[in-house]
């Protein structure tokens, strides 16, 4: 089973500043990496897939990079509506598909 | 637009069977380029994939090793839905349960694009 490790657990960023979230896989997942945004009381929402392809409905300030074992999600200019928990998930090696433990993004 | 609507009880007694249903609109449970999954979320386990069903000339089922002896996922083509049964539940099975849909074709996302609203299931006497 591939272990997904996210850092930091909590990230406090001032409005308009850049937020950088990390995700590391215990073995290579190529570009088979997704990011999800989850707000309280809602299911996760697919944000990025293929490590760097933005899903429908998300603005360009969200971007994903990386391949293999190291991945990054960036929010170029944090807005209040971006406050959420962000999860990474690998869909390269099955079984099972696995998720990271999440990074909570807060407004400083 | 594909939508998933979950239904089922929010309270289950220990040792009994948890049963949830996910109704699909805008797609078919028999879609040969999709698979239909159950995922749960709890503070102790985080997001945990439980299993899936999919149709490729016949029905297939895959389950996580952590629950394989207790889980059954069943498609219902007449109602265009799929269900989860988890037997012999314990308090540790308390979680929010989500149904999800995933396009498995190499030309699409292959991540979990479609989610049900979630069902908080508490295992308690």
Q: Of how many residues is chain A composed?
A: 108
Cβ–Cβ gap B109/A87 under 8 Å: no
Cβ–Cβ gap B111/A98 under 8 Å: no
Q: Of how many residues is chain B composed?
A: 125
Model pLDDT for residues B66-113, shown as the tens digit of each residue: 999 999 999 999 999 999 999 999 999 999 999 999 998 888 889 999
Give Cβ neighbours of residue A66 (< 8 Å, ≥ 6 apart): A23, A33, A51, A52, A72
Q: Give the per-residue pLDDT at B105.
A: 84
Site from A97, A103, A104 to mutate, B interface, most B CB atoms within 10 angstroms: A97
Percentage of chain B beyond pLDDT 70 is 100
Residue entry with tokens 């149904």: B99
Angle at A39 between CA A35 and CA A45, to 5 degrees: 40
Model pLDDT for residues A82-95, shown as the tens digit of each residue: 999 999 999 998 77
Three-state DSSP state, A8: coil
Residues belonging to chain B with any Cβ–Cβ distance to chain A shorter than 8 Å: 46-49, 62, 64-65, 98, 109-113, 115-118
DSSP of B25-50: ESS-TT-TTEEEEEEEEETTTEEEEE
Model pLDDT for residues B11-70, shown as the tens digit of each residue: 999 999 999 999 999 999 999 999 999 999 999 999 999 999 999 999 999 999 999 999
Residue entry with tokens 């391949």: A67
Q: What is the mean pLDDT of chain B?
A: 96
Q: Are A25 and A91 in contact (CB under 8 A)?
A: no
Of A42, A50, A95, which is closest to B64 when you measure between CB atoms? A95
Q: Give the per-residue pLDDT at A95.
A: 73
């Amino acid at each position: 089973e591939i272990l997904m490790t996210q850092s930091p657990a909590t990230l406090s960023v001032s409005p308009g500043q850049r937020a950088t979230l990390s995700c590391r896989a215990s073995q290579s997942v190529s570009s088979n990496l997704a990011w999800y945004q989850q707000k309280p009381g809602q299911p996760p929402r697919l944000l990025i897939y293929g490590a760097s392809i933005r899903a429908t409905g998300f603005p360009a300030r969200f971007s994903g990079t990386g391949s293999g074992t190291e991945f990054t999600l960036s929010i170029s200019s944090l807005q209040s509506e971006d406050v959420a928990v962000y999860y990474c998930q690998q869909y390269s090696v099955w079984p099972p598909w696995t998720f990271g433990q999440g990074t909570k993004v807060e407004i400083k | 637009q594909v939508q998933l609507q979950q239904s089922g009880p929010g309270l289950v007694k220990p040792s009994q069977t948890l049963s949830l249903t996910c109704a699909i609109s805008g797609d078919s449970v028999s879609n040969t380029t999709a698979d239909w999954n159950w995922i749960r979320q709890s503070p102790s386990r985080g997001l945990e994939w439980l299993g899936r069903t999919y149709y490729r000339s016949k029905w297939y089922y895959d389950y996580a090793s952590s629950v394989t002896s207790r889980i059954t996922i069943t498609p219902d083509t007449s109602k265009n839905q799929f269900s989860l049964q988890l037997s012999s539940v314990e308090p540790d099975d308390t979680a929010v349960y989500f149904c999800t849909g995933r396009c498995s074709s190499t030309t699409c996302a292959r991540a979990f694009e479609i989610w049900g609203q979630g069902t908080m299931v508490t295992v308690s006497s």
